[in-house]
Amino acid sequence: MTQNTNTKNIFSHEKATFVIVDEASETQKIDNFLLKILKNVPKSHIYKILRSGEVRVNKKRVDTTYRLQIDDEVRIPPIAVEGERAPHVIEPKQQQTAWLDTNVIFEDDALLAINKPSGYAVHGGSGLNFGVIELIRHARPKAKFLELVHRIDRETSGILLIAKKRSALVNMHDMMRHNRIEKKYTMMVEGEWTDPKKTVELLLKKTFTQGGERRVNVTEDEDDSQNQMSKTIFYLKKSLGPYTLLEAKLITGRTHQLRVQLAHLGFPILGDDKYGDFSLNKMLQKKGLKRMFLHAFSMKMKHPLTEEPLELKAPLPRELDAFLSQQAI
């Protein structure tokens, strides 16, 4: 490539960039994915770094026909490209990472557990420069290994696990596959729920809106192997007139599982902007509930390396606690 001394027209990643694939990019071909996120990089250069093996997915070479899967880790090599409208590398602002230290629930050499606030995606993508994992890596540049163990929705708050050792990550994933991690959520729903305990099993199907946004629906099509069974045990905690406070124990962990199940049963989660009661949500915003009332508050498991019992708790965020107090008056 021709050298150019006009550095303002050079787009340069001095370090490799790592991107975790989310649902919005699932099944997309790797070349189209790179063309989307490297908008000012010539197509010829993108295919060059693909053919040369500089782009890696999960630390392996891929060709242009590879289709991305959720949680794939895409390594984008350092790039220097001429261009008048070249993008610039964006660094997180201090206020974006200031909350991390105060939200640590548990930490040792193998595992980090944080109380994720609502409004933070667990990883970047879909128009977001940074997710929680990118912010943690930025705040801890000397850490050799930091990987998400699981995901929770951007709008959901609560316990999020990050592995600090590959062995811990592998063991945690094995525990999740064999349902050896107990996860509990608290939520407030619209309607008067009366069952003290209710087990819900529903078959879920992933779809797309006309705008390309992913949605999950309940289906009865058992012949489609892509559809997944979901199972949750719900517990009645408090009746609050037109609303009900519930707890949920996840048996499976499907995308938007709690939100879709409850909406299908006629008890949408307050503040849910995808599956909820939109007119009610608008009214609740005026009363101070400006987010979804869904919080991952408890997790029980064995430590991934020591096998000692580990119980994690994340207190209800102040904004949800304040809204709950208003309803209990």
Q: Which residues are catalytic?
A: 153
Which whole-number Å values give the CA distances from 329 to 12, 241, 280, 322, 326, in the listed order? 57, 11, 20, 11, 6
Q: Locate tokens 């070349």: which residue?
A: 31
Bridge pairing between strands 294-302 and 309-313: antiparallel
Q: With beta carbons less than 8 A apart as the criterion, state whether 2 and 106 touch.
A: no
Strand boundaries in the chain, DSSP class E = 10-12, 17-20, 56-57, 60-61, 73-76, 80-82, 104-107, 111-116, 147-148, 157-163, 182-190, 197-208, 214-218, 228-240, 243-250, 294-302, 309-313
Question: Can you name the residues that pair with 244 across neighbouring β-strands?
Answer: 189, 239
Return the axis-axis angle of helices 43-51 and 30-37, rounded to nearest 10°: 130
Q: With beta carbons less than 8 A apart as the criterion, state whether 244 and 238 touch.
A: yes
Bridge pairing between strands 147-148 and 157-163: antiparallel
Q: Which amino acid is at 170?
A: V
* CA 246 to mean position of chain CA atoms: 22
Q: With beta carbons less than 8 A apart as the criterion, state whether 233 and 198 touch.
A: yes
Q: State which H helix or E strand residue 32 sits in.
A: helix 30-37
Which phi-psi region, left, alpha or beta, contains residue 58 (left: φ > 0; alpha: ψ -120 to 50)? left
Q: For the chain, what is the total number of helices (H) and then of strands (E)?
A: 8, 17
Q: How far apart are the first and last CA of the chain?
A: 70
